[in-house]
Chains A and B, each alone.
Chain A
């Protein structure tokens, strides 16, 4: 057992004493754990070290109000993307251990996405820069201490700022304090600020500049919409502010607690997205045809925008849907992720025509997420080409990777005399710069945000700086010459907020809840519609050579900024279910046409841009379209992309690399796909069978049928036979259970990652995933539904436009658990509160239990997945043991949280209140699809949902009696013939049963 202990002494000195103790304790206790397993103990004895000599170094002074081992929540703001959801950081012994959603944040309302859950990886990431880093080390650099090093950098910057035109290139900066700093910097140095987002919402802002006189991205209010039309806007996946949108969308889709109506969600899209997968009706429309559908729709709504070109949506459907949208009026909403400004103008016209402005979308309190301006960036590139920029400061963006034509940007950087990067990593752009001013992690610094105009949020540090870094804003203040603000940024920020933001709210309150909402003051200030502007030619269908290229921000890596994050690399694409690489997704028909099969390496080419990717089947994608996720192919994202803990395949590296960059193709509409003759080596697929084979595990029905019969789609095909070997369990106290609403699950994987972070589930790497040895305790099964009307050659997954259902599958905590019966050492047992318990230290790894589990939710540790870097161990949850090689593990229903909740109730001598215990997956779920509670408590939500007509247990017929049950998915569309037939059959069966009883 080897643990790196070579963290520099100077680094340790910067940490609080308790953190040092933690560092020591972590390494020592892990070692102890190893001791109980044979060989490690032997070697320790032979080495002659005393097995139990563990040192404990308490704090010198105990900080007021902080107790060792107790978790405190700190309200903060997630900075994984510009959506800036609210977080509550669980901080324990001076270090953050788990992010949770902040229910006080009116946008995210307690939800958090997978990337938000994975944010702590970045904090402890050993690849982070530990201090200012020059491209070429000056003489005597090694002898300088941290302060001197920063001084050297600051001197360089001071000289560079005097050299001539300065440009400051950043991502979205929305906070009032942060913007003031940038203004200060620009005023002091004459710099110009350029905001850039790789996947921006700029076309929407540009269209509103023409139609409303304001270049604003509206704040969409899905909760006010009865009918949503989405044209390639993946608003449940990664569009602008997905968590907020998912929560708002779910409010109209929730059929629990007696609700009888549902909103309508129609998706027109070229690729199969998670949003399309959740839509009631979905039409496959290629990007080239989108304008035609839009014009057709606008014309039917009373506009005259010329002739609509030929598009695949049948006229009858267009007519029906247009009427539906018109009827919804101001409770209708049309959104689009189109990059064509003309199309966006037409969208604005439609929304205006509906009267939706001020109702389902707002321009007064507008969105400030994804603020990056494509125009400003294009202007900067022109300036760089002309060589007129002498000094460029790049903060937190990576255009050398993610600007279409990034390679050119790298060249252009050569024309700039002084290049300074502010960032946490030496990424593709920063490593081209003369100096990198090492930025602190968001968890180490104060910051503020204004994701929606009038809604201010704060981010506060949750840990002392781990390394000799300096927060970006403090660097800018320093370079602007404002040393007072730089030295105590918190004090400066507090003053700035008290003067400009708080309007009476005490600063301490703002810090405590993390939010100051002043949107109400903006009410009624909606800019007026001035006309649709130039929308000529929108209706024509673009034609091009070859195949249409569709790129999208990947669900896990975003625009590539999360590529160094192991948790997110291992998170599969929700639809394709591939991790550790990107892919060329195609419909089965297109695959057949091109003569390629799954796993073939193809080269997608457009102009001189290429991307190599393995082909995967993505049913539901429009024909003649190739889908490429962005964000993969980072070359300088740290050790993760070089295969952390994974044997790198030396023989076939070029076809097994972790993805290829698709950004160069992002600007191209059409291109070609050619076979390379190679096969992708070790495609890390997490699900290989896409069909339920007409044995519904994830049940579903149509709204009209459900309204007639609450049990629609949920009748037993085979009734369970209640036979068991053992005595029935009695649950005298609690009986924990969970209900998952399939109607609300969007397949976003936030729960899976939250579970992984909470429960110390290891990242196993690409090779192991390829061997089907992934360790996620929750897997989100995705099924492509068999629709008889569009059947193709008998293979249900080959249908043209399948419906999709997501089903989170974790340990079902069966009452008659098949695993418990076969364990020879009783390592898995039943608790008197209905949980199926796995006792790791008892497990001898026979894997009988996994074999006997009908749900296949047990995970086996084929190796000891230890962190190679000591600092990474700090990411582990101290409430959960670290499992080692040869041990079986699985969902514990967050036993540690259950005991914490019970302890808190016992302390106050009250009963455990419903909702006071929330599992990690439940807490983060953006749509509240997961509910946990006590089934023995008749008034608990779980018990109520257990009595819901939609409630069912998966594989009920084998009588495992799971504690985890599901609610049938209900689609708000006309019932399909097979669904009606199913209902009729069930009714007949029921009638027969009754007849049987009569006799």
Chain B
């Protein structure tokens, strides 16, 4: 009995002490990666969505080409950047610097290792194509539904919690709408739709 109590006490102590000892940041890290609302890692090149998608009004899928064809939306390849940036070289020193970095990474063949912003855990299988192209009877959802108003943001960051509850709620809500409209197939609520 005493041993069990000791274990319980130890567990409670560690549980309480961990955020204090390690800092809340680290404990937050342990949580599932998809819970990181507001996560905005430093990128090797601080690409601005506001400038490209907002001010210049470039379509999301001009760069994230796979979003309507694949599970992944796809981090754009550098060739896409170079489509414009062979001639668009920037006005300010800062932007010239950044664009030079892109060109260097492309010419040298080294590429750019971006930090991933949205990290679903390995056991959750989300499919972009389904949501962007098939959902809503083929209309698809706007990217903003999940990724927020990215065109108003600078460096990409996570807007929604992207937890399981968040997914399921959306599926349930939309299923009511599907029923009303007579759309098929409904958004699945089976475990194996995402976990397999």
Contact = CB atoms under 8 A, between A and B. Distances in A.
Interface of A: 17, 24, 29-30, 32-33, 35-36, 41-42, 44-46, 48, 50-62, 67-70, 733, 829, 831-833, 835, 837, 839-842, 879-882, 892, 895-896, 899, 902-903, 906-907, 909
Given A52-B33, A837-B192, A733 B185 contact: yes
Contact of B29 (A45, A840, A841): A45
Contacts of B48: none
Contacts of A54: 33, 115-116, 119
B110 to A, nearest CB: 9
Contact of A903 (B39, B115, B130, B189): B130
B72 interface: yes
Contact of A55 (B30, B71, B114, B189): B114
Interface stretch (B2-10, B49-57, B76-84, B87-95): B76-84
A361 to B, nearest CB: 46
A56 B114 contact: yes
Nearest to B69: A67
Contacts, number: 151
The 5 closest A-B pairs by CB, nearest first: A51-B29, A69-B70, A831-B190, A33-B122, A895-B192
Given A45-B30, A51-B29, A57 B113 contact: yes
A32 B121 contact: yes
Q: Which of B26, B29, B71, B122 has the most CB atoms of chain A within a 10 A radius of its CB?
A: B122
A938 to B, nearest CB: 18
Contacts of A32: 33, 119, 121-122
Contacts of B79: 60-62
A54 B118 CA distance: 10
Contacts of B69: 67, 70
Interface of B: 22, 26-27, 29-30, 32-33, 36, 39, 41, 65-66, 69-72, 74-80, 106, 109, 111-116, 119, 121-123, 125, 127, 129-130, 133-134, 137-138, 185, 189-193, 195-196
Contacts of B111: 17, 57-60
12 contacts: A41-B30, A54-B116, A55-B115, A55-B116, A57-B111, A58-B75, A59-B111, A61-B79, A68-B72, A733-B185, A835-B190, A902-B185
In terms of DSSP, what is the predominant structure of the interface of chain B?
loop
B127 to A, nearest CB: 7
A633 to B, nearest CB: 39
Contact of A837 (B26, B114, B190): B190
A864 B100 CA distance: 45
Nearest to A880: B196
Contacts of B27: 45
A881 B122 contact: yes
Nearest to B18: A45
Contacts of B70: 67-70
Contacts of B196: 879-881, 892, 895-896
A896 B26 CA distance: 34
Contacts of A831: 190-192
B77 A837 contact: no
Contact of B66 (A56, A70, A899, A907): A70
A70 B70 CA distance: 6
Given A17-B111, A840-B195, A58 B185 contact: no
Nearest to B137: A909
Given A69-B72, A903-B129, A36 B185 contact: no
Given A833-B190, A839-B195, A59 B77 contact: yes
B191 A837 contact: yes
Nearest to B71: A69
A835 B41 CA distance: 40
A52 B77 CA distance: 22
B41 A58 contact: no
Contacts of A46: 22
Contacts of B185: 733, 902, 906
A952 to B, nearest CB: 27
Contacts of A899: 127, 192-193
Contacts of B195: 837, 839-842, 881
Nearest to A20: B111
A62 B77 contact: yes
B60 to A, nearest CB: 16
A332 to B, nearest CB: 49
A881 B116 CA distance: 19
Nearest to B14: A42
A839 B116 contact: no
Contacts of B133: 907
B65 A67 contact: yes
A892 B22 CA distance: 41
B129 A68 contact: no
A892 B192 contact: yes
B153 to A, nearest CB: 18
